[in-house]
Amino acid sequence: MNHFELIDGEMHVENVPISAIAQAVGTPVYAYSAARLRENARAFRDGVAPLGRVHLAFAIKANPNLAVVRLLANEGFGADVVSGGELARAMAAGVAAKDIVFSGVGKSRAELIQGLEAGIGQFNLELEEEGVVLAALAAERGLRAPAALRVNPDVDAGTHAKISTGKAENKFGLPIDEAPAIFDRLGGLEGLNLRGVAVHIGSQLLGLAPLEAAFERVGRLVADLRAAGHTITHVDLGGGLGVAYRPGETPPTPAAFGEMVARVTKGWDVELMFEPGRVIAGDAGVLVTEVLWVKPGVTHPWVIVDAAMNDLARVALYDAYHGFAAVKPSGKTMVANVAGPVCESSDVFVKGREIDAVKGGDLAVLQTAGAYGATMASTYNSRPLVPEVLVSGDRFEVVAKRIAAEHIMAEEHVPDWLK
Ligand code: PLP
């Protein structure tokens, strides 16, 4: 049961027919399954449970909707945040400050202060200077900031180049070989409790080997740091587990991930921290869209839908694959392209694929769109910001309203000297 099943010929989210959501809210609209989010959260929690002392922080960049973050907080997840806005969201959703980890390659001084004043659980530092600044800001306030150094282990995650973060040439983390000297210099600062190491090598990983290689390097670093007299109590192993976007894709299960981590981290004697995003939210959402037209094409017909790259950017950004399925499939199929109305040639969701046959007025879904979907939406082409609905059993609720182009326009202004 994946909670996006056909019941009496119509796709439902849990027990709610998708046409009921479309009728009430309009299209395009994201629809999330609360049950699926919970199942994914519990599978991850169970997968890492044998590791003992663990801290779970949902990477809220994957899906920062307040209701989603709250649901996951109820399941024992803190939050991994990468901006002051995400920090404010996590707190507004009810995540305890101590359960918030602040990652991100470019935190401003204002954001560091926001984190300090909120009393968050950990700052993951990306460079030495950030540690110096954070220590000073904390000391001025009579605080000691809990922190870890994010290292770049120079491991190829084997995923799309635009979601790889652990190769030496990526902007993330500091070179793992330089970490001991940086630890020596930052370790003694009054405002800093430099207590650990963090790593995150990329997203949508379909194999465990790159993660294992990265964690082994981190293990050697932890041993070296301890040998040099540093106290290491926390290691943050990041996120990255993939989900099945294509038929037949078999990403590692959280249980297999947990077994690998148990083997590699045996004897580390630290609190292990995790920042999963996609594996929690990815398959818990779909983007519901209406077919506007079926337009003849040179090689294949163009199915023009009312969702576009501004609502779901992943295909344009990463050539990502999303399944396309009719809400009321007739059983017939067609080979077609599927595209949105935005004026960019990259606004194409599907190219020359066999899909459910559809015609103008039909509802369809782009599948596995619960992570890095609505969160990346924009108002490009002055389109409204896409709404989100959370389904639980036979009820659903709008958890983010559609923001009309007029609202955005109301924040703009023509100077008098142009009138
Ligand atoms: N942690 C950090 C530092 C990240 O940059 C990301 C995403 O890129 C994540 C966690 C979550 O990754 P994923 O959604 O692949 O689990």
Task: Give the CATH number for residue 160.
Answer: 3.20.20.10
pLDDT value at residue 413? 95
**Is residue 38 domain-resident?**
no
Which residues, 6 or more positions from 224, have their beta carbon under 8 angstroms from its beta carbon?
Answer: 180
Mean pLDDT, the chain, integer: 96
Has residue 136 been placed in a domain? yes
CA of 11 to the centre of ligand 1 (A): 30
Cβ–Cβ under 8 Å, residues 283 and 204: no
My answer on whether 218 and 312 are in the same domain is: no
Residue 289 lies in a domain: yes
Q: What is the pLDDT of residue 160?
A: 80
State the distance from the centre of ligand 1 to the C-alpha of 107, rounded, in angstroms: 16
Q: Relative to the CA of 163, which ligand 1 atom is closest?
A: 8
Q: Is residue 62 part of a domain?
A: no
Return the percentage of the chain with pLDDT > 90, whole number: 94
Would the pLDDT of 48 be above 80?
Answer: yes
Can you state the percent helix, strand and coil of the chain, rounding each to 5?
Answer: 35, 25, 40
pTM: 0.97
- 157 versus 68: the higher-pLDDT residue is 68
Is 166 within the bounds of a domain? yes
In terms of domains, do 122 and 214 share one?
yes
* Secondary structure letter of residue 313 according to DSSP: -
Last residue of a domain, one of 238, 257, 274: 274
Which of 274, 298, 318 terminates a domain? The answer is 274
292 part of the active site:
no
Q: Are residues 288 and 221 in the same domain?
A: no
Is pLDDT of 185 > 90?
yes
Q: How confident is the model at residue 172 (pLDDT cuts 50, 70, 90)?
A: confident
Same domain, 236 and 323: no
pLDDT at 166 over 80: no
The reply to whether 266 and 319 lie within a common domain is no
Q: What is the CATH number of the domain that holds 357?
A: 2.40.37.10
Q: How many structural domains is the chain composed of?
A: 2
- Same domain? For 251 and 227 the reply is yes
Distance CA 99, CA 79 (A): 6
Model confidence over 296-352: pLDDT tens digits? 999 999 999 999 999 999 999 999 999 999 999 999 999 999 999 999 999 999 999
Statement to judge: residues 205 and 289 lie in one domain: no
Question: Binning pLDDT at 50, 70 and 90, where does residue 384 land?
Answer: very high
pLDDT per residue over 233-282, tens digit each? 999 999 999 999 999 999 999 999 999 999 999 999 999 999 999 999 99
Quick one: pLDDT at residue 168? 79
Residue 232 is part of which domain span?
Answer: 104-274
Sheet holding 16-17, edge to edge: 6-7, 10-13, 16-17
User: Which of 216, 246, 274 delimits the end of a domain?
Assistant: 274
Residue 418: its pLDDT value, please?
97
Residues 294 and 333 in one domain: yes
What is the predicted pLDDT for the residue at 67?
98
Confidence tier at 158 by pLDDT (50, 70, 90): confident
Closest ligand 1 atom to the C-alpha of 278?
Answer: 14
Asked if residue 134 is part of any domain, the answer here is: yes
Q: How far apart are alpha carbons 64 and 73 in whole angstroms?
A: 12
Q: CB neighbours of 237 closer than 8 A, spacing ≥ 6?
A: 198, 199, 200, 211, 215, 218, 261, 272, 273, 274, 275
Radius of gyration, alpha carbons of the chain? 23
| Ligand 1 lined by 251 (C-beta under 6 Å) | no
Q: Is residue 83 part of a domain?
A: no
The three-class DSSP label of residue 360 is: coil
Claim to verify: residue 319 and residue 401 sit in the same structural domain: yes
* Helices 179-187, 128-140: crossing angle, 10 deg rounding: 20
For 56-79, the pLDDT digits (tens) are: 999 999 999 999 999 999 999 999
Asked if the model's pLDDT at residue 167 lies above 90, the reply is: no
Terminal CA-CA length for the chain: 60
Look at residues 3, 25, 17, 10 and name the one whose alpha carbon lies nearest to residue 389. 25
Are residues 345 and 293 both part of a single domain?
A: yes
Ligand 1 centroid–CA 275 distance in Å is 6
Please answer whether residues 354 and 335 qualify as being in contact, where contact means their C-beta atoms are separated by less than 8 angstroms. yes
Check whether 36 has a pLDDT greater than 90: yes
**Which tokens belong to 99?**
């359960």
> Are 152 and 269 found together in one domain?
yes
Same-domain pairing of 293 and 260:
no
Q: What phi and psi, each to the nearest 5 degrees, are found at residue 190?
A: -60, -40
